[in-house]
Protein backbone atom coordinates (compact mmCIF):
# COMPACT_ATOMS: atom_id res chain seq x y z
CA UNK A 1 0.00 0.00 0.00
CA UNK A 2 1.39 3.40 -1.03
CA UNK A 3 2.20 5.97 1.67
CA UNK A 4 0.97 9.40 0.58
CA UNK A 5 2.41 12.77 1.67
CA UNK A 6 1.06 16.18 0.66
CA UNK A 7 2.99 19.42 1.24
CA UNK A 8 0.85 22.53 1.75
CA UNK A 9 1.65 26.25 1.62
CA UNK A 10 -0.47 29.29 0.74
CA UNK A 11 -0.78 29.35 -3.04
CA UNK A 12 1.09 26.17 -4.07
CA UNK A 13 3.59 27.97 -6.29
CA UNK A 14 6.65 28.49 -4.03
CA UNK A 15 7.27 26.52 -0.84
CA UNK A 16 5.09 23.43 -1.23
CA UNK A 17 6.15 22.57 -4.79
CA UNK A 18 9.76 23.07 -3.69
CA UNK A 19 9.26 20.70 -0.74
CA UNK A 20 7.51 18.19 -2.99
CA UNK A 21 10.38 18.22 -5.52
CA UNK A 22 13.06 17.81 -2.84
CA UNK A 23 11.18 15.05 -1.02
CA UNK A 24 10.49 13.16 -4.27
CA UNK A 25 14.23 13.21 -4.99
CA UNK A 26 14.96 11.89 -1.47
CA UNK A 27 12.34 9.14 -1.88
CA UNK A 28 13.84 8.11 -5.22
CA UNK A 29 17.40 8.15 -3.83
CA UNK A 30 16.23 5.94 -0.95
CA UNK A 31 14.69 3.43 -3.37
CA UNK A 32 11.20 4.07 -2.00
CA UNK A 33 9.58 5.36 -5.19
CA UNK A 34 6.55 3.16 -5.76
CA UNK A 35 6.05 2.89 -1.99
CA UNK A 36 5.86 6.62 -1.21
CA UNK A 37 4.08 9.31 -3.22
CA UNK A 38 4.43 13.06 -2.73
CA UNK A 39 2.34 15.93 -4.01
CA UNK A 40 1.47 19.47 -2.95
CA UNK A 41 -1.35 21.97 -2.71
CA UNK A 42 -2.22 25.41 -1.35
CA UNK A 43 -4.61 26.51 1.35
CA UNK A 44 -6.09 28.91 -1.22
CA UNK A 45 -6.94 28.61 -4.89
CA UNK A 46 -5.50 31.92 -6.13
CA UNK A 47 -2.95 30.22 -8.40
CA UNK A 48 -4.87 27.08 -9.42
CA UNK A 49 -3.74 25.84 -12.81
CA UNK A 50 -0.50 27.87 -12.80
CA UNK A 51 3.00 26.48 -12.81
CA UNK A 52 5.47 26.98 -9.98
CA UNK A 53 6.92 30.46 -9.49
CA UNK A 54 9.84 30.92 -11.93
CA UNK A 55 12.17 31.64 -9.00
CA UNK A 56 11.21 28.31 -7.42
CA UNK A 57 11.90 26.52 -10.69
CA UNK A 58 15.25 28.31 -11.14
CA UNK A 59 16.49 27.57 -7.59
CA UNK A 60 15.42 23.93 -7.86
CA UNK A 61 17.07 23.45 -11.26
CA UNK A 62 20.28 25.18 -10.10
CA UNK A 63 20.43 22.62 -7.30
CA UNK A 64 19.73 19.55 -9.42
CA UNK A 65 16.02 19.06 -8.79
CA UNK A 66 13.40 18.59 -11.48
CA UNK A 67 9.89 19.99 -11.24
CA UNK A 68 6.70 19.51 -13.23
CA UNK A 69 3.98 21.30 -11.33
CA UNK A 70 0.45 22.66 -11.61
CA UNK A 71 -0.94 24.55 -8.60
CA UNK A 72 -4.12 23.39 -6.90
CA UNK A 73 -6.04 23.96 -3.69
CA UNK A 74 -6.12 21.46 -0.82
CA UNK A 75 -9.56 19.94 -0.26
CA UNK A 76 -10.80 18.42 3.02
CA UNK A 77 -11.86 15.25 1.17
CA UNK A 78 -8.16 14.51 0.50
CA UNK A 79 -7.53 13.63 4.14
CA UNK A 80 -9.06 10.19 3.64
CA UNK A 81 -6.42 9.21 1.07
CA UNK A 82 -3.41 10.91 2.69
CA UNK A 83 -1.15 9.51 5.39
CA UNK A 84 0.67 12.75 6.19
CA UNK A 85 -0.05 16.42 5.45
CA UNK A 86 3.01 18.66 5.79
CA UNK A 87 2.37 22.34 6.53
CA UNK A 88 5.10 24.83 5.64
CA UNK A 89 4.20 27.26 8.43
CA UNK A 90 2.09 27.49 11.56
CA UNK A 91 -0.69 29.39 9.75
CA UNK A 92 -1.06 26.50 7.32
CA UNK A 93 -0.94 24.04 10.22
CA UNK A 94 -3.89 25.75 11.93
CA UNK A 95 -5.86 26.11 8.68
CA UNK A 96 -5.38 22.45 7.75
CA UNK A 97 -6.31 21.20 11.21
CA UNK A 98 -9.51 23.28 11.02
CA UNK A 99 -10.31 21.68 7.65
CA UNK A 100 -9.76 18.15 8.96
CA UNK A 101 -13.04 16.20 9.12
CA UNK A 102 -11.91 14.09 12.12
CA UNK A 103 -9.41 14.18 14.98
CA UNK A 104 -7.47 11.40 13.24
CA UNK A 105 -7.22 13.56 10.13
CA UNK A 106 -6.08 16.59 12.17
CA UNK A 107 -3.34 14.39 13.68
CA UNK A 108 -1.96 13.77 10.17
CA UNK A 109 -0.96 17.45 9.87
CA UNK A 110 2.63 18.27 10.87
CA UNK A 111 5.06 21.15 10.36
CA UNK A 112 7.91 20.48 7.92
CA UNK A 113 10.57 22.01 10.18
CA UNK A 114 9.56 19.68 13.02
CA UNK A 115 11.61 17.09 11.10
CA UNK A 116 14.76 19.24 11.19
CA UNK A 117 16.70 18.52 14.40
CA UNK A 118 18.77 21.69 13.90
CA UNK A 119 15.61 23.85 13.90
CA UNK A 120 15.24 23.12 17.62
CA UNK A 121 13.34 25.77 19.49
CA UNK A 122 13.74 28.35 16.74
CA UNK A 123 11.15 29.63 14.30
CA UNK A 124 9.11 26.62 13.12
CA UNK A 125 8.07 28.29 9.86
CA UNK A 126 9.55 28.17 6.38
CA UNK A 127 9.07 31.86 5.46
CA UNK A 128 7.15 32.76 2.32
CA UNK A 129 9.69 33.95 -0.28
CA UNK A 130 7.07 35.22 -2.75
CA UNK A 131 7.43 38.96 -2.13
CA UNK A 132 11.23 38.97 -1.95
CA UNK A 133 14.19 38.20 -4.16
CA UNK A 134 15.82 34.96 -5.19
CA UNK A 135 17.77 34.82 -1.91
CA UNK A 136 14.50 34.05 -0.08
CA UNK A 137 13.94 31.09 -2.39
CA UNK A 138 17.47 29.86 -1.74
CA UNK A 139 16.87 30.14 2.03
CA UNK A 140 13.60 28.27 1.59
CA UNK A 141 15.42 25.45 -0.23
CA UNK A 142 18.00 25.21 2.55
CA UNK A 143 15.24 24.81 5.15
CA UNK A 144 13.36 22.27 3.03
CA UNK A 145 16.51 20.23 2.45
CA UNK A 146 17.41 20.34 6.15
CA UNK A 147 14.02 18.89 7.13
CA UNK A 148 13.70 16.36 4.30
CA UNK A 149 16.11 13.82 5.80
CA UNK A 150 14.19 13.62 9.07
CA UNK A 151 10.89 13.47 7.22
CA UNK A 152 12.18 10.66 5.02
CA UNK A 153 13.36 8.72 8.09
CA UNK A 154 9.91 9.06 9.70
CA UNK A 155 8.14 8.01 6.51
CA UNK A 156 10.50 5.08 5.98
CA UNK A 157 9.71 3.88 9.52
CA UNK A 158 5.97 4.04 8.78
CA UNK A 159 6.37 2.22 5.45
CA UNK A 160 8.52 -0.51 6.99
CA UNK A 161 6.06 -0.83 9.88
CA UNK A 162 3.24 -1.46 7.42
CA UNK A 163 5.28 -4.14 5.66
CA UNK A 164 6.04 -6.01 8.91
Which amino acids are annotated catalytic?
9, 15, 128
3-state secondary structure of 7: strand
Evaluate whether 112 touches 7 at the Cβ level (below 8 Å): yes
Report the sign of the C-alpha dihedral through residues 10, 14, 17, 18, in that order. negative
Kindly state the DSSP code that residue 15 receives in the 8-state scheme: H
- d(CA 71, CA 125) in angstroms, rounded, equals 21
Task: Return the bridge partners of 6, or none.
Answer: 39, 85
Amino acid sequence: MTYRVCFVCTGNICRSPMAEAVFRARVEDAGLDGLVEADSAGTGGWHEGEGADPRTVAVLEENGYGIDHTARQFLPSWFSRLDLVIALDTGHLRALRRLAPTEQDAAKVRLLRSYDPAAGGGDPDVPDPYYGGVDGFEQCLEMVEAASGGLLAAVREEVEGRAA
